[in-house]
A = this chain, B = another copy of it.
Amino acid sequence: MPSKATSIDIAYRAGVSQSTVSRALRNSPLVNLETRQRIQAIAKELNYKVDKNASNLRTQNSHTLALLICEDPTNDDSMINPFFLSMLGSITRATARQGYDLLVSFQQLSSDWHADYEDSNKADGIILLGYGDYVDYAHKLEKLLQQNTHFVIWGAEHNNKSVLSIGCDNHQGGMLATQHLLNQNRKTIAFLGDSSSHSPEFRDRYFGHCEAIKAKGFLVNKALQIDAISTESSGFDAANALLDKNIPFDAIFAASDLIAIGALRALKKRGVQVPEDVAIMGYDDIPIASFANPSLTTVKQNTQLAGEILVECLLKLIRGQEVSPMLIPTNLVVRQSCGSQLKS
């Protein structure tokens, strides 16, 4: 097998200098059109591809982005949060559309995940995805900032204003969800999900939830908020804990679809009818949501748009352009788990 063709091989065949080959392949108008075409034809024939290592080394950028998905260490190893997978899909596509490659890596929150992609010149910037413990996160972000790494983070706005965060409007989403439940005449709505600063996304959803309740003139009962992380089993446990409290409630707003599905299982097991006895509202609109029984009414995060915006903002950051944090609006997807009709 002939070893890989280089620009010198092409130069030789075309009877020009290697510099001219390089220019021609980058389609520089500097080189004579005819020569350019001839060179490009030869390159194609030899199946020549520019060596990225060489060109990246020379130009000092990699045309590659890195995506770090930070998994909750408590998560089942094999089951990645479907919401992230959906984001992964849209980020991959958006990256490709911009002519960049994407390096993907899953990281345990516990590990030393800044992962050095940019330091080692493998990526021009990093996208961070993860429902992790934000307090844990913080000092790692600090380090990234110190190192002048280009990165964007998916999620709630960060207290550190230098961190560029892109996320869906969790506060608005939380309001939307609870307003819908209230409109269905539910009066006592439990919230399943961590409400501490450890998961600011869940917390913002909770705050939106509370605001909707207050706006209706009701009181927020703190006993109806049960911590849960975004897994089915955590949702199952949280719903059981809620039931064990023996406080009456007629609706559950779960901070994620996975939690909602776990809660659904717990309620069924205890003989509680959904949505007749208790309405369940999810969050995310992951594919499973529409297959649940009853199908899950939920707040949809537009992952398609989110992926595009993440990539776009990261590229701006890399190019040194102005960017500011963005909040993407969410919308309600009404299915069956909250009842489809207004009750009276």
Contact = CB atoms under 8 A, between A and B. Distances in A.
Given A53-B56, A82-B82, A105 B101 contact: yes
A89 B96 contact: no
A104 interface: yes
A52 interface: yes
Contacts of A330: none
A105 B116 contact: no
A167 B115 CA distance: 31
Nearest to A148: B1
Interface in A280-295: 287-288, 291-293
Contact of A49 (B50, B51, B105, B120): B120
B101 A103 contact: yes
A335 interface: no
Interface in A289-344: 291-293, 303-304
A161 B86 CA distance: 35
Contacts of A52: 53, 120-122
A293 to B, nearest CB: 3
Contacts of A148: 1
A195 interface: no
A307 to B, nearest CB: 10
Interface of A: 1, 4, 47, 49-54, 56-57, 62, 64, 77-80, 82, 85-86, 88-90, 92-93, 96, 101-106, 116, 119-122, 147-148, 232, 261, 287-288, 291-293, 303-304
27 contacts: A1-B148, A4-B121, A49-B120, A52-B120, A52-B121, A53-B62, A53-B121, A54-B57, A57-B57, A78-B86, A78-B89, A78-B90, A78-B304, A79-B287, A80-B85, A80-B86, A85-B88, A88-B88, A89-B106, A92-B104, A92-B106, A93-B106, A101-B122, A102-B105, A232-B291, A291-B292, A292-B293
